[in-house]
C-alpha cells in the first residue's frame, strides 16, 4: 500500500491567500484525521472524520479553517484567508477505529509557510 498521501509537501504563500491541503487516505480505512504541529503548541488534532462524516471539529482554530471529505479516498483542509500564525506542518492520518487498538498511519506532512 502507498500509505497516506499528502500534497503539497511544501507551500509558501502570502498572507491573505487561500491554501488548500489535500490527502488521500489508505484504502479501506474509515477514519481520517487532520493534525497540526508547531514548535509552540506541539501536535494538535484539528478534525476527524468517520465514513466521510466529520465527528469532531472542536480543534479547528477558527472559521478560516474548513475541512471536507467528499468521498472515502479524498479529503481537503482549506485555510482562507491564511495568516502567518498558520505556518505549521499539517499531517493527515488514517486508520480503522483506534478505539479497537488499530494503528493510525500518518502521511509525510504538508509544510506550510505563510509570509
Partner 1 sequence: AQSVTQLDSQVPVFEEAPVELRCNYSSSVSVYLFWYVQYPNQGLQLLLKYLSGSTLVESINGFEAEFNKSQTSFHLRKPSVHISDTAEYFCAVGSSQGNLIFGKGTKLSVKP
Q: Are 4 and 94 in contact, with CB atoms under 8 Å apart?
A: yes
- In the list 94, 107, 112, 114, the residue contacting partner 1 (rule: CB under 8 A) is 107
19-27, 67-75, 79-87, 97-105 -> range binding partner 1 (CB under 8 A): 97-105
Nearest to 96, CA basis, from 27, 10, 29, 45: 29
Give CA–CA dist 29/4, Å, rounded. Answer: 10
Tell me if 57 contacts partner 1 by CB under 8 A: no
Tell me if 12 contacts partner 1 by CB under 8 A: no
Pairing assessment for the beta strands 53-56 and 5-7 based on DSSP bridges? unpaired
- In the list 19, 29, 33, 65, the residue contacting partner 1 (rule: CB under 8 A) is 33
12-20, 60-68, 69-77, 91-99 -> range binding partner 1 (CB under 8 A): 91-99
Cβ neighbour number for residue 34 with a 10 Å cutoff? 25
Give CA–CA dist 10/60, Å, rounded. Answer: 21
State the nearest-atom distance from the C-beta of 110 to partner 1, in Å: 10
Query: Which residues contact partner 1 by CB under 8 A?
Result: 4, 31, 33, 42-43, 45, 48, 50, 55-56, 91, 93, 97-101, 103-109
Amino acid at each position: 500500500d502507498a500509505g497516506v498521501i499528502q500534497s503539497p509537501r511544501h507551500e509558501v504563500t502570502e498572507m491573505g491567500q487561500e491554501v488548500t491541503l489535500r490527502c488521500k487516505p489508505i484504502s479501506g480505512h474509515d477514519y481520517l484525521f487532520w493534525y497540526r504541529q508547531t514548535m509552540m503548541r506541539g501536535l494538535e488534532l484539528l478534525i476527524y472524520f468517520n465514513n466521510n462524516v466529520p465527528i469532531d471539529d472542536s480543534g479547528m482554530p477558527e472559521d478560516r479553517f474548513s475541512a471536507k471529505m467528499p468521498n472515502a479516498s479524498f479529503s481537503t483542509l482549506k485555510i482562507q484567508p491564511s495568516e502567518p500564525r498558520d505556518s505549521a506542518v499539517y499531517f493527515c492520518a488514517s486508520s480503522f477505529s483506534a478505539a479497537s487498538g488499530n494503528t493510525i498511519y500518518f502521511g509525510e506532512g504538508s509544510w506550510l509557510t505563510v509570509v
